[in-house]
């Protein structure tokens, strides 16, 4: 959710009854502080911050969330053992994002309070094993003694109910909120997501860090490099710097990196985040009643 989830989106989701999350991976330390302060002004409700461990100034972000008394921190893309104790000692609830049973167990050993089990369908940073949400969530639920939050492919109340049926106690949604008015990404990117069809995304760049991205000129350049068996250094050079910013924030749909989940193909409207939360909850309640009334003979 880098370049998408700033204070506007996080506060709108929290105001609507969800837990809004500020994605700090694309923010300089002073930018994160500004977003946290604005989010506090925009909502009295709790919100969280996601900190990818790959972030170059991770220690500064950790210090900021502690100083600002953020109640819940989601850590991702790295070893949970590094920062969990420091965050827990500061009274923060820690949730770690994992894409495999192995890393979920590692997160439990590191003392986190809950894990997100994020399957292959998810956009952006992803797992190497390509385990789908349907397979991953029950396996993680069996493997750990912690609340499990399902992610990857969830954008509706029905998929939320399905995740609960698999054993999850919550869901994390990213892609659906990319196509929201409050997302900080470029409108051209949001519209591109809304118009996208099945097969628009692909999981690539496993040599560097696996990422699900949309097919465009940049993606095809990458795939040509793979066809030539280019070494990781060449892939890294091709990726260059700030590709994600160029694509999602500046709206360069051909040369930028566009991160979205497979479920982007099922999203057909840019809506206010509060309406999205309302629709998801209404659909969840309707689907739950429908299933409660079913007779399984």
**Residue 55 contacts ligand NDP per CB under 6 A:** yes
Q: Which of 45, 86, 88, 245 binds ligand NDP (CB under 6 A)?
A: 245
Q: Find the binder of ligand NDP among 243, 248, 252, 265 (CB under 6 A).
A: 243
Q: Is the Cα dihedral 151, 153, 159, 163 positive or negative? A: negative
Residue whose entry in the numeric block shows the structure tokens 């977003």: 35
Looking at residues 156 to 215 of the shown chain, list those that interact with ligand NDP (rule: CB under 6 A).
Answer: none
Minimum CB–partner distance for residue 107 and ligand NDP (Å): 15
Compute the C-alpha angle 184/169/258, nearest 5°.
25
**Token representation of residue 189:** 């990117």
**From the list 66, 77, 188, 194, which residue makes contact with ligand NDP (rule: CB under 6 A)?**
77
Under the binding rule (CB under 6 A), the answer on residue 25 touching ligand NDP is: yes
Q: Does 242 bind ligand NDP (CB under 6 A)?
A: yes
Residue 169: CB minimum distance to ligand NDP, A: 21
For ligand NDP, the closer of residues 55 and 284 by Cβ is 55
Q: Give which of 232, 179, 176, 178 is closest to 204, Cα–Cα.
A: 232
Among 241, 294, 295, 296, binds ligand NDP (CB under 6 A): 241
User: Tokens 């639920």 correspond to what residue?
Assistant: 141
- Residue whose CB is less far from ligand NDP, 10 or 161: 10
Angle between helices 58-67 and 29-42 (to 10 degrees): 30
**How many whole angstroms separate alpha carbon 55 and alpha carbon 69?**
20
Both structure tokens of 110: 């590191």
Shortest separation between residue 154's beta carbon and ligand NDP, angstroms: 15
Q: Is 261 in the site for ligand NDP (CB under 6 A)?
A: no
- Is residue 48 a contact residue for ligand NDP (CB under 6 A)? no
DSSP string, 91-153: T-EEEEEESSHHHHHHHHHTT-SEEEEE-TT-SEE--SS---HHHHHHHHHHH-SS-EEEESS
Question: Which span (21-29, 161-169, 219-227, 286-294) binds ligand NDP, by CB under 6 A?
Answer: 21-29
Q: Pick out residues in 115-154 that bind ligand NDP (CB under 6 A).
A: 124-125
137 contacts 118 by C-beta, under 8 angstroms: no
Interface residue list for ligand NDP (CB under 6 A): 2, 25-28, 52, 54-57, 76-77, 124-125, 241-245
């Amino acid at each position: 959710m880098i370049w998408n989830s700033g204070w506007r989106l996080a506060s709108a989701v929290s105001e609507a009854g969800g837990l809004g999350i500020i994605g700090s991976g694309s923010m300089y330390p002073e930018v994160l502080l500004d977003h946290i302060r604005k989010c506090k002004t925009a909502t009295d409700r709790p919100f969280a911050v996601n900190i990818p461990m790959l972030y170059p100034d991770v220690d500064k972000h950790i210090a900021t969330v502690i100083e600002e008394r953020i109640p819940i921190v989601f850590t991702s893309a790295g070893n949970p053992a590094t920062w969990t104790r420091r965050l827990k000692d500061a009274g923060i609830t820690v949730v770690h994002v994992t894409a495999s049973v192995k890393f979920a167990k590692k997160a439990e050993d590191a003392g986190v309070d809950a894990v997100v089990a994020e399957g292959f369908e998810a956009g952006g940073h992803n797992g190497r094993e390509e385990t789908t949400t349907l397979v991953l969530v029950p396996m993680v639920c069996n493997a750990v003694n912690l609340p499990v939050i399902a992610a990857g492919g969830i954008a509706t109340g029905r998929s939320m109910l399905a995740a609960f049926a698999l054993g999850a106690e919550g869901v994390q949604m990213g892609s659906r909120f990319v196509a929201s008015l409050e997302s900080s990404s470029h409108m051209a990117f949001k519209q591109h997501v809304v118009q996208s069809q099945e097969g628009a995304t692909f999981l690539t760049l496993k040599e560097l860090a696996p990422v699900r991205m949309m097919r465009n000129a940049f993606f095809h350049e990458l795939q040509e490099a793979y066809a030539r068996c280019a070494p990781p250094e060449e892939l890294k050079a091709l990726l260059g710097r700030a590709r994600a910013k160029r694509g999602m924030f500046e709206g360069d749909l051909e040369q930028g990196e566009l991160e979205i989940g497979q479920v982007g193909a099922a999203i057909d409207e840019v809506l206010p985040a509060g309406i999205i939360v309302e629709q998801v909850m209404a659909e969840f309640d309707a689907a739950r009643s429908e299933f409660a009334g079913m007779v399984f003979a």
